Structure formats: C-alpha cells, structure tokens
Chain A
C-alpha cells in the first residue's frame, strides 16, 4: 500500500497528523489551481482554506477508486471555485504576475519579457470558460492524466479531451492575436 493511501486511511480514522501530512503534500497544488482560477491572492487563500477544511471534515466519505487523493481534492476545489464565483462579484483580474515567478535572477529586459509572456498567457487563460481553464491547468501546469482530470471534474474522459481540444484552439487564437503571428503549438501536438 502506498504511503498516501496509509495517510488517507489514518486521516479517515481522525488522525489529524496524517491529514496534516496530506495538507503539506497537496496544499501548494490546490492553491496554485485555485489561484490561477480566481486570480487574486487573498481569494485564493480563502478558497484553499475552505477546500482543506471541507476535505478534513468529510474525509470519511472519500472512497478510493483507483485515483490519487488529489483528484478528490481537485473536485472539492473546482466546486469551491464555482461557489466563490457565485457568491462574489466578478472583477477584472489586474493582479500582476506573482513575485515568486520572477525570483530567478535575470536581466531587466528578460524579466520584462517574462512578465509580458506570463501576463499574456494568464490573460488568454482567463478568457477560457471554467471547465476549459481547469483542464488546461490540470493538464499543462499540474501534469495530471486525462483520467485524473475526468475524475476531478466528474466528466468522462472523452468529454475532457473535447474540452481540452477546444481550450487549446482558443488559447492559440488568443496568443496569435497578441503576438501578431501563429504561435508554435497546434492542438495536434497535445
């Protein structure tokens, strides 16, 4: 049995230390996913806290179905983000690219390029619908498999592939507009 499974079993029996370890493993990924979806640091922190509070209170209800525990957490996170958008007014995402992305030493011009590129990708990402955003983030940021994404989003694998295909087409169109040329990637690459 994997270490993660043991931790989950212990957490299901009420072992807070075990759940604490699961928190340490998965919280950064969930935070990142939520941050890229909501676009604001404070909102991302609130939603992430809500996700883990919810997970800790309902961990007994988790049933292992051959997918990592993270799929279950991503599902809670997706629902939490939807709830967040339901309860708060949509606002324009003007938050700048997080500092940690620019932490590597670089020349001023390179840094400027980095900021520009990241900002462009983020803007393009924000123009996708919520499911498309989730699929792109899970697939290309977190490297989850199509099966895992399907479990997390409660959709079939076929539906996830269709969403991914449409999302990449849209991203390509958005980025082409910004850069004024065809971006290197086509949906065939994926």
Chain B
C-alpha cells in the first residue's frame, strides 16, 4: 500500500508559469559562448600572455634607454649629465682637502707646543731644584712635629 502511495507522489508537478519563468532565468544566468569572442579568451591564456608580454617589455626597455641616453639635457635625467657630475665631484674633493689641511695645521701647532714644553728645562715642573725642595718638604711631613707630642702628653695627664 505505501509503495502505491509513494508512486502517487509522481503526480507532483511544478507550476507551469513558474517553470517557464525559471527556465528563462536559468538560461540567462550564463552568457552563451557564441556571444563571447573566442579570441579574447584564448589571448589571455598564460603561454600566450608570456609570448606577447616579453617582447613588449623588451621593446619598452629599449625605447626608454634610447630616450634617456639620446637626450641627457632633459630635466628628468640631469643627474646623469657628466659635466655637472664632474663639477660637483671636483668641488666636493676640494672641500675635503681644505678640511684636511685645517685639521693638520692645528695638529702641527699642538705637537710643536708639546715638544717645546718637553725640551724646555726651565719649566717649573721639570726643574731639579724644585723637585729636590719638594722632597725635603715631604720628608719633613713624615716626622711628627714636636708640638703634637707635647699636646698628646697634656691630654694624657688631663684624662688619667
């Protein structure tokens, strides 16, 4: 019995108006291939793109190179102008040279004054007399002064 009932479900049919409308909608959901130019599809495939792309890039590179080297006075490539670069380079080296000279000059004077000071025996801190006198002072300082002894004795008496 239930099998017959299931068979009866075969009578279920969609609405005819809906069916026709849906058919149109479904078929229009995709552009027919006849309307799509085949060339436009095949031309963009990867190998073809490579074959076309590489020569285009090479040609562009050549044109760009020619343009740059044939007209060096153009504003855009002024940095490649050899005359300008030479001038700039020369002025740069000159500055460096001058700075170096001024440095050497000050170093020379410093060294000269140092040598002069060393060779000068009259300098106060190198005088042998001065040094001897300083040694004497130092020796005096090592012996405790007699005054200090008497003070210690007095203090001992007061305390004890």
Contacts and interface: CB of A to CB of B under 8 A. Distances in A.
Are A and B physically bound partners?
Answer: yes
A114 B8 CA distance: 10
Given A27-B14, A121-B6, A56 B23 contact: no
Contacts of A101: 8-9, 11-12
A49 B23 CA distance: 8
* Size class of the A contact interface (CB-based, 8 Å): 35 or more
Contacts of A28: 13-14
Contacts of B15: 45
B5 interface: yes
A56 B23 CA distance: 11
A100 interface: yes
Contacts of B19: 27
A110 interface: no
A159 interface: no
A15 B27 CA distance: 10
Contacts of A24: 23
Contact of B27 (A20, A35, A48, A124): A20
Contacts of A120: 5
Given A32-B9, A100-B12, A141-B10, A13 B33 contact: yes
A121 B30 contact: no
B2 interface: yes
A76 to B, nearest CB: 12
A140 B12 contact: no
Nearest to A52: B26
A19 B27 CA distance: 8
Interface in A73-129: 98, 100-101, 103, 114, 117-118, 120-121, 124
Contacts of B145: none
Interface residues of B, number: 26
A53 B23 CA distance: 9
Given A121-B5, A140-B7, A31 B26 contact: no
Interface in B1-56: 1-3, 5-15, 18-19, 22-23, 25-27, 29-30, 32-34
Nearest to A50: B26
Contacts of B1: 117, 183-185
Given A53-B26, A56-B29, A141-B6, A48 B14 contact: yes
22 contacts: A16-B27, A20-B23, A28-B13, A32-B10, A32-B12, A49-B22, A52-B22, A53-B29, A57-B30, A98-B12, A100-B12, A101-B8, A114-B8, A118-B8, A118-B9, A121-B9, A124-B2, A137-B6, A140-B6, A175-B2, A183-B1, A185-B1
